[in-house]
Structure 1
Amino acid sequence: MRTASGAQLDFSRLALLVLMLGVGWYFWDSPVFWPLKVLVVMMHESGHAIATLLVGGSVDKIHLAANESGSCLSRLPPGVLAKVAVYSGGYLGSAVAGAGLLLATFRFRLRRWVLGAACVWLAVMGLVYGGDLFTKAFCLGTAVVLGLCAKYLPDGAVDVVNLFIAAFTALYAVVDLKDDLWNAAVRSRSDAALLADLTWVPAIVWAVLWTLLAVGLLGVAAYWSLHAKPRGLQMPSVSTRARRV
């Protein structure tokens, strides 16, 4: 399968992505993956924080909990649109993070830059916005681990770590939408419920909108990530050179 730019489907990338998704799904309840789940929760709360700053508000504190919940306490400027943007920033933020990791890892092969950027992000969020000891300890501890991985792991091991974090983040973003927005009991206490109270648009409508946007974004990122660009310079054809002569 070839795109308009000449990129072809890379079956090795597809196999790796399917393998990583399968491992994440099969061992979903394993305590080994607990740090990754809390990491994606931090992405969710960071989405709220970034949206808050973009609309001119300020972030007070971010809290993470061992039960994989989280909160972002912020001060918002007046106006409905600002609140809509901030309330939507969580689920869409984790989807954007998943899509970005897929592209950075599979398409652009940024390797150590992915872990380095994650290390800096966690350190900044923990030091500046960490609202309790657990949040600070998790962010700074995970930042140290990722930084050490980026510095000392061999290239092949870095690729494996990046691939799994990217795949797991994308998987968790979709599962998070399913568990939070398509479970009526949970949805009534979610960001969708806050928007329903603010806009009078039912929470289920927000759930549908966010799900479509998030899955669409992840789908586009996966499509681009799994298509390899042609390598090397493209030599002109013989007929082209003949005409130039």
Structure 2
Amino acid sequence: MREVLSQIWERATATQPAPEPAVVVAVALVALALVLLPRAWSLTRHLVTISHEGGHALVAVLTGRRLRGIRLHADTSGVTLSRGRPTGPGMVAMLAAGYLAPAVAGLASALLLAAGHSLALLWLAVGWLSLMLLQIRNAYGLLVLLVCAAGAGLASWYLAGTTVSLLAYLLTWVLLLAAPKPVLELMRQRRRGQARGSDVDQLTRLTRVPALLWELLFLLANVAGLAVGVFVLLPSVVAGFSWSA
């Protein structure tokens, strides 16, 4: 066991060279297709939901609330339940964290990749998914988390370093590119009178801030996260565009 843990630590802390910018762009285009194509999005959205609910759960713990469980559903929706004061800054922070979490996770992943730690990124993903497993409260959610954790763990252990880097970049691009889409979907649903009881509705009730302002805040934050992520992952390409302009 000590030898296995030692190997995991050595692999997780090792650095890997970044792919060529053209390869990073190609991976970004693949991620964009996974976000835009309806059939692909029905699967990709599970990653966004995991990040969304994980954000709720993390901020709930950080603000002193007690987690009661996480559920992930086949329609890619999810819910995180916690116990604590029903009002106040802690409740507001927990509710706001969901729609911000994918962009924050994507940006943090981009910074890790820029430092050459693509393998560490996958191991961190495995660790986070394992923690979420302790709080999952339905069978479908358990299955989704097990598949994702096992896939990331096996890939990081058995695949070559270059392939692992490509997977890490793909995961990061998916999070960054997908982050604004659930907010746009929520805005569309609310205009149709759907999505009642959403995070935005609860935030409006707690803060008296209009729902539209919360939606715009989430959308702008996610777009800003994507812009910064592009700069971090493709500094030479961004610099080239700036120079051309």
TM-score interval for Structure 1 and Structure 2 normalised by the shorter chain: 0.7 to 0.9
Higher Cα Rg, which structure: 1
Q: Is 1:149 the counterpart of 2:155 in the alignment?
A: yes
Select the residue among 133, 145, 152 that pairs with 2:139: 133
Q: Is 1:208 the counterpart of 2:230 in the alignment?
A: no
The two structures have a TM-score, normalised by structure 2, of: 0.80
Partner secondary structure for residue 76 of structure 2: coil
- 1:78-117 maps to which residues of 2 (within 5 A)? 79-105=87-113, 107-117=114-124
What amino acid sits opposite 2:22 in the alignment?
S
The two structures have a TM-score, normalised by structure 1, of: 0.80
Residue matched to 2:62 = 54
Structure 1 unmatched runs, 5+: 1-9, 229-245
- Relative to structure 1, is the Cα distance of residues 227 and 18 closer, same or farther in structure 2, using a 3 angstrom cutoff? same
What amino acid sits opposite 2:92 in the alignment?
V
- 1:1-245 maps to which residues of 2 (within 5 A)? 11-12=21-22, 15-30=25-40, 34-77=42-85, 79-105=87-113, 107-126=114-133, 128-183=134-189, 184=191, 185-186=193-194, 188-227=196-235
**What's the offset of the Cα at 1:134?**
1.6
**What's the offset of the Cα at 1:17?**
5.0
* Contact 1:20/1:163 (<8 A) preserved: no
What amino acid sits opposite 1:124 in the alignment?
L
Aligned length: 215
Partner secondary structure for residue 29 of structure 1: helix
- Which runs of 4 or more aligned residues in structure 1 lie more than 6 Å from their structure 2 counterparts after TM superposition? none
* Contact 1:44/1:89 (<8 A) preserved: yes
Residue matched to 2:5 = none
In the aligned structure 2, how far is the partner of 1:34 from the partner of 1:154?
Answer: 29
Structure 2 unmatched runs, 5+: 1-19, 237-245
Percent identity (aligned): 27
What amino acid sits opposite 1:189 in the alignment?
G
- Relative to structure 1, is the Cα distance of residues 14 and 147 closer, same or farther in structure 2, using a 3 angstrom cutoff? closer
What amino acid sits opposite 2:208 in the alignment?
W
The structure with the greater share of residues assigned to helix is 2
* Contact 2:95/2:203 (<8 A) preserved: yes
Cα RMSD, aligned residues only = 2.1
